[in-house]
């Protein structure tokens, strides 16, 4: 590899490293927003149009050999700060 190519790649590497650093806190997995229906007769979640319960946020990450889920939580109890 030519010195100029190596220097270019090193500059690119440093620039990307700084961008990743600026992202802040990163966690493995994903957070999905869910709306649900319940089993209560006459509940607004069964209305037309339905007004489902939620949002509830579910954090999922892969843990061998299956997915691991944290329980559904209300947005008021979610703290994703680092």
45 near Zn ion, rule: CB under 5 A: yes
Binds Zn ion by CB under 5 A, chosen from 43, 56, 57, 58: 43
Query: CA 20 to CA 23: how far, in whole Å?
Result: 5
- CB of 21 within 8 A of CB of 82? no
CB 36 within 8 A of CB 52: yes
54 binds Zn ion (CB under 5 A): no
When computed from its CA atoms, the radius of gyration of the chain, rounded to whole angstroms, is 22
The contact pattern for Zn ion, residues 1-40, with x = CB under 5 A and - = no contact, is: -------------------------------------x--
CB closer to Zn ion, 58 vs 59:
58
């Amino acid at each position: 590899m030519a010195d100029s190519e190596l220097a270019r790649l090193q500059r690119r590497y440093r620039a990307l490293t700084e961008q990743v650093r600026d992202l802040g806190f990163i966690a493995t997995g994903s957070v999905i927003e869910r709306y649900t229906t319940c089993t209560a007769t006459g509940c607004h979640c069964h209305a037309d149009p339905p007004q489902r319960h939620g949002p509830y946020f579910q954090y999922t990450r892969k843990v061998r050999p299956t997915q691991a889920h944290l329980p559904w939580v209300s947005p008021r109890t979610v703290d994703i700060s680092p």
